[in-house]
C-alpha cells in the first residue's frame, strides 16, 4: 500500500489488475482517499474498457484499473507499477524508482495505515480494553 501511495504522490503510472470490477473500483478509490486532502489531477479510470487498452502507453501519469483477462497486454509496459489485486502483489519495474517518504513520516504513515486496516491493534496491549457496544446488544425497556 505504501509503494502505491508513494507512486501516486510522485506521479508514476499505476495499473490495478483484478477479475472483479468491484475490487478495481474500490482499490482505485481507496488510493485517491489515502491522498486526501491532496487531489489527484492526472488520468483516473477505475475500469478501462478493452477498446482503450492503448491508453496504457500514454506518457502521462495515471491510475487505471484493468480486468485481469487483459494481463497479457500489460506485460510489455516497462514504466508502469502493476498491482495484482487477486494475487496480492505489486510489481515495480527496474526502470521505475519510487521515492518513499522520509523515515519519521514513513513510520507514522505505516502506523496510521495499520490502525485503519486493523483497528483492534490500537487497544490490543491494554490490560482493560474499552468495551464495545453494538446496536444489537442494546435493549429497549
CATH number of the domain that 15 lies in? 3.40.50.11500
Look at the chain and report how many structural domains it folds into: 1
- Let me know if residue 66 belongs to a domain: yes
Least confident of 1-5, 35-39, 87-91, 126-130: 126-130
pLDDT value of position 132? 59
- Let me know if residue 112 belongs to a domain: no
- Let me know if residue 124 belongs to a domain: no
Instruction: Print the domain residue range for 51.
Output: 2-91
Can you say whether the dihedral through the CA atoms of 57, 97, 3, 89 is positive or negative? positive
- Let me know if residue 129 belongs to a domain: no
- Let me know if residue 76 belongs to a domain: yes
Tell me the whole-structure pTM to 2 decimals: 0.78
Q: CA dist 7 to 2, 114, 136, Å?
A: 8, 19, 42
- Let me know if residue 33 belongs to a domain: yes
- Let me know if residue 52 belongs to a domain: yes
Amino acid at each position: 500500500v505504501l509503494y502505491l501511495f508513494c507512486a501516486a504522490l510522485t506521479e508514476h503510472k499505476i495499473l490495478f489488475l483484478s477479475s472483479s470490477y468491484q475490487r478495481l473500483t474500490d482499490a482505485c478509490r481507496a488510493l485517491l482517499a489515502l491522498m486526501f486532502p491532496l487531489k489527484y489531477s492526472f488520468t483516473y479510470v477505475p475500469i478501462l474498457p478493452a477498446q482503450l487498452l492503448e491508453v496504457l502507453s500514454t506518457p502521462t501519469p495515471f491510475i487505471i484499473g484493468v480486468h485481469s483477462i487483459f494481463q497479457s497486454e500489460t506485460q510489455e509496459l516497462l514504466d508502469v507499477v502493476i498491482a495484482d489485486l487477486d494475487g496480492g502483489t505489486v510489481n515495480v519495474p527496474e526502470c521505475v524508482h519510487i521515492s518513499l517518504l522520509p523515515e519519521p513520516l514513513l513510520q507514522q504513515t505505516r502506523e496510521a495505515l495499520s490502525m485503519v486496516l486493523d483497528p483492534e491493534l490500537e487497544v490490543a496491549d491494554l490490560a482493560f480494553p474499552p468495551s464495545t457496544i453494538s446496536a444489537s446488544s442494546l435493549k429497549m425497556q
